Amino acid sequence: MDENTFLLGVAFGLGIISIPSPKDIFFIKMCVLRRSLFRMAFFAVASDAVLIAVGTLLFGMTSGISAVGMSIRVLAVFYIVYLFFSIDGKGFSEDAVERDRRSGDFLRMGELSLANPYSWIDTVIFLGGMAAVSTYPVSFISGAIAASAIWFLALMLVFGWILSEQMRARVYNYLPLFAKIILPIILCVLVIEIYSILKES
């Protein structure tokens, strides 16, 4: 393993994964509720690892990176609009399965991680694409996965353990407002990126 490439993967991984996303908002919700913290963090990191590996394989076998990136961004626009209208007063969307809260939590995290086109932009396109062109792809992927672990463990530590019960309650109450602010920003960025790609082509 190349140490410099690993550190590069950590640096780029933290820079990209730490950008606020729907997945982060839902994970924070789980942290303030203290529900399945370690398993939820493991699931979040594992999903990033899978998507980064998929991106590395995808861009290692094809030269149509721009076409793939454009398609994912278009899908992400529709998905972000769907998420915006699914926000309710209890937090960032209701649990998927009310009868089994734990299953509902993991189903929702699975949707926001693996089935979320916006999440694919960070992991499949950016990190996976960078790993594909790296001289030491395994080292870069390992660094990016380590960055994901650092990020989600830090969120878990702050919102799940360091904050007092009163502060966690305040964070939980403000999550819907935060989502309503961040999702339109994400949507605007996606539209600008799509316009830029179309203009260049």
Q: What is the pLDDT of residues 13-30, one digit of tens each?
A: 999 999 889 999 999 999
Note whether residue 70 is domain-resident. yes
Q: State pTM to two decimals.
A: 0.86
Residues 162-172 have a mean pLDDT of 92
How many domains, the chain? 1
Lookup: tokens for 39: 């398993």
Note whether residue 16 is domain-resident. no
Note whether residue 133 is domain-resident. yes
CA 68 vs CA 22, 55, 63, 97, 196: distances in Å: 21, 10, 10, 33, 15
Note whether residue 44 is domain-resident. yes
Supply the range of the domain harboring residue 174. Answer: 3-11+22-200
The 8 Å CB, 24+ separation contacts for 55-59 are 55/120, 55/123, 55/124, 55/125, 55/127, 55/128, 55/129, 55/131, 55/132, 56/128, 56/129, 56/131, 56/132, 56/137, 56/141, 57/128, 57/132, 58/124, 58/128, 58/132, 59/128, 59/129, 59/132, 59/133
The type of residue at 41 is: A
pLDDT at position 125: 87
Note whether residue 54 is domain-resident. yes
Write the pLDDT tens digit of every residue in 32-81: 988 888 999 999 999 999 999 998 888 765 555 566 778 888 899 999 99
Lookup: tokens for 108: 């929702």
CA 45 vs CA 32, 50, 115, 179: distances in Å: 19, 9, 15, 21
